[in-house]
């Protein structure tokens, strides 16, 4: 409780910390999680499967492409947006972050950022960069490498 | 206690060390009580009958555990763990899995879980995608100049490239964001990375004593990402995603 209250002020209001958490949060948190034992009675979970069905857009469809094309057309290309530039943002997070314990996906991403931005030689505290999780075929996190050089907007 | 010997069933939330000085105000599925055996105790409620699985029941399970984990290390049971009576809880859970439960309680004694969810702002990311690619800017201008209903192929090409670019960028940002927090965690599990809508979800395991600095780091990260990714953090929770499954031989050795 103390923790939750304290943290509301932390993060300057950018970090959303729902309390109490919503049903969706709960489902994500506990469904198929926790210790499973072979109990004598295991209750059938009526209705739960309904909660997990979420109507997500399948991205590889014509409709989706048209929707994205439209969304792109609505953008005003001359408006630069007022947020921090993307390269600086990515670089900042990678610098600050973690060379320690990461998943394969994150290691992959990090490599990419180092290709893009050059790696800082002064690697930080944890010397074990290439240990866990970077096992090559560690599943769905791996993506084809697609790398675009950041280009200055015209 | 009411149903304890009247053929009622017992729902188990999780297992703690016994004795534990716990205060549980959450309603749960009924009054929450301890069933102890040796130096372990199961947190339980009597339930009338199966089936279980209403939304309120799912939430009650999570709420009780969320409250308990702030007071003591707890190994959360999967929702729907119900045994026939108190004796079955002692015999089939606390006694049979004593070794595993003790090991997990030791291993997870000082940690809490937080769930991070990062949801991209589509417009902001599309803007970034365009900013990164001169080719796409050119294509976009060309498509904008087309009269309605024409150039369907070009439209699709633009849409496909933008959709892929959006997902790719959401994935990169999500990875970098989770990576940035990983110095504050003892373990983490990426549960979804750049999903269909670019959502990234991760379960983060944090030392109790580091909670404050973790929350500071998460807050700073959220501020950095604002405008591009909305950050949502649920917790503290018991280590739902990090509990190890018991030995398969043990689990399958039902009939004694």
pLDDT in tens, B61-96: 999 999 999 999 999 998 888 888 899 999 999 999
- Greater confidence, A78 or B240? B240
- Greater confidence, B42 or A123? B42
- Greater confidence, B53 or A44? B53
pLDDT digits (tens, 9 = 90+) for A80-110: 555 568 888 888 887 755 444 343 333 333 3
- Mutation to test the B interface, candidates A72, A125, A154, most B Cβ within 10 Å: A72
The dihedral sign for the CA sequence A119, A121, A124, A127: positive
- Greater confidence, B174 or A10? B174
The predicted pLDDT at position A141 comes to 39
DSSP string, chain A: -HHHHHHHHGGGG-EE--SSPPHHHHHHHHTT-SB----SEE--BTTHHHHH---PPPSSSHHHHHHHHHHHHHS-TT---SSPPHHHHHHHHHHHS-SSS--HHHHHHHHHHHHHH---SS--S---TT-TT--TT-GGG-------------
The predicted pLDDT at position B160 comes to 93
Q: Do B92 and A31 touch (CB under 8 A)?
A: no
Q: Does B186 touch chain A (CB under 8 A)?
A: yes
Of A34, A110, A151, Cβ closest to residue B243: A34
Q: Does B240 touch chain A (CB under 8 A)?
A: yes
Q: Does B212 touch chain A (CB under 8 A)?
A: yes
The predicted pLDDT at position B249 comes to 56
Provide mean pLDDT across the span A4-33. Answer: 68
User: Which residues does chain B have with pLDDT short of 70?
Assistant: 1-7, 49-53, 248-256
Q: Does A54 touch chain B (CB under 8 A)?
A: no
A29 CB neighbours in chain B (<8 A) are: 62, 115, 234, 237, 240
Tokens found for residue A55: 């109507």
Q: Does A123 touch chain B (CB under 8 A)?
A: no
Size of interface A-B (CB pairs under 8 A): 329
Closest Cα in chain B, distance from residue A26 (Å): 6
B137 CB neighbours in chain A (<8 A) are: 77, 153-154
Nearest to A150 by CA among B197, B221, B137, B231: B137
Q: Do B176 and A42 touch (CB under 8 A)?
A: no
Closest Cα in chain B, distance from residue A116 (Å): 13
- Greater confidence, B54 or A148? B54
Q: Does A8 touch chain B (CB under 8 A)?
A: no
Residue A7 has pLDDT above 50, yes or no: no
Q: From the CB of residue B194, how many other CB atoms can be counted at a distance below 10 Å?
A: 24
Of A14, A36, A46, Cβ closest to residue B222: A14
The predicted pLDDT at position A35 comes to 86
The predicted pLDDT at position A55 comes to 38
Residue A138 pLDDT class (50, 70, 90 cuts): very low
Q: Does B49 touch chain A (CB under 8 A)?
A: no
The predicted pLDDT at position A116 comes to 37
The predicted pLDDT at position A12 comes to 55
- Mutation to test the B interface, candidates A15, A83, A112, most B Cβ within 10 Å: A15
Of B92, B171, B245, Cβ closest to residue A36: B245
The predicted pLDDT at position B192 comes to 85
The conformational region for residue B40 under phi > 0 = left, psi -120 to 50 = alpha, else beta, is beta
The predicted pLDDT at position A22 comes to 76
Distance between CA atoms of residues B218 and B232, nearest Å: 10
A16 CB neighbours in chain B (<8 A) are: 222, 230-233
Give the residue from chain B lying closest to A47, CA to CA: B53
């Amino acid at each position: 409780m103390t923790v939750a209250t304290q943290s509301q002020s932390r993060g300057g209001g950018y970090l959303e910390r729902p309390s109490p958490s919503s049903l969706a949060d709960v489902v994500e948190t506990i469904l198929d999680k926790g210790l499973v034992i072979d109990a004598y009675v295991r209750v059938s979970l009526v209705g739960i499967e309904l909660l997990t069905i979420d109507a997500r857009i399948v991205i590889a469809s014509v409709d989706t492409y048209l929707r994205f094309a439209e969304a792109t057309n609505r953008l005003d290309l001359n408006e630069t947006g007022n947020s921090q530039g993307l390269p600086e943002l990515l670089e900042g997070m990678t610098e600050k972050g973690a060379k320690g314990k990461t998943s394969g996906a994150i290691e992959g991403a990090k490599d990419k950022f180092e290709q893009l931005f050059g790696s800082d030689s002064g690697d930080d505290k944890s010397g074990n960069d290439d240990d866990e999780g970077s096992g090559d075929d560690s599943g769905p996190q791996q993506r084809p490498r697609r790398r675009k050089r950041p280009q200055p907007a015209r | 206690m009411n149903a304890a010997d009247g053929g009622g069933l017992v729902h188990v939330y999780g297992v703690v060390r016994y004795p534990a000085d716990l205060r549980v105000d959450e309603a749960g599925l009924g009054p929450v009580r301890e069933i102890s055996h040796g130096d372990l105790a199961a947190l339980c409620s009597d339930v009338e009958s199966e089936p279980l699985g209403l939304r309120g029941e799912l939430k009650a399970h999570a709420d009780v555990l969320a409250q308990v984990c702030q007071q003591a290390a707890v190994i959360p049971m999967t929702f729907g763990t119900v045994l026939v009576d108190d004796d079955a809880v002692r015999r089939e859970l606390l006694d049979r899995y004593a070794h595993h439960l003790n090991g997990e309680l030791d291993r997870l004694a000082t940690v809490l879980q937080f769930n991070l969810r990062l949801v991209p702002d589509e417009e902001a990311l599309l803007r970034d995608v365009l900013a990164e690619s001169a080719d796409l800017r050119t294509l976009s201008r060309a498509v904008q100049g087309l009269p309605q209903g024409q150039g369907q192929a070009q439209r699709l090409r633009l849409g496909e490239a933008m959709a892929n670019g959006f997902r790719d960028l959401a994935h990169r940002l999500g990875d970098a964001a989770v990576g940035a927090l990983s110095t504050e965690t003892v373990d983490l599990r990426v549960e979804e990375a750049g999903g269909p809508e670019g959502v990234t979800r991760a379960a983060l395991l944090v030392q109790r004593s580091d909670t404050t600095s973790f929350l500071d780091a998460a807050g700073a990260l959220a501020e950095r990402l604002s405008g591009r990714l909305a950050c949502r953090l649920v917790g503290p929770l018991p280590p739902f995603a990090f509990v190890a499954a018991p030995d398969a031989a043990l689990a399958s050795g039902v009939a004694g």
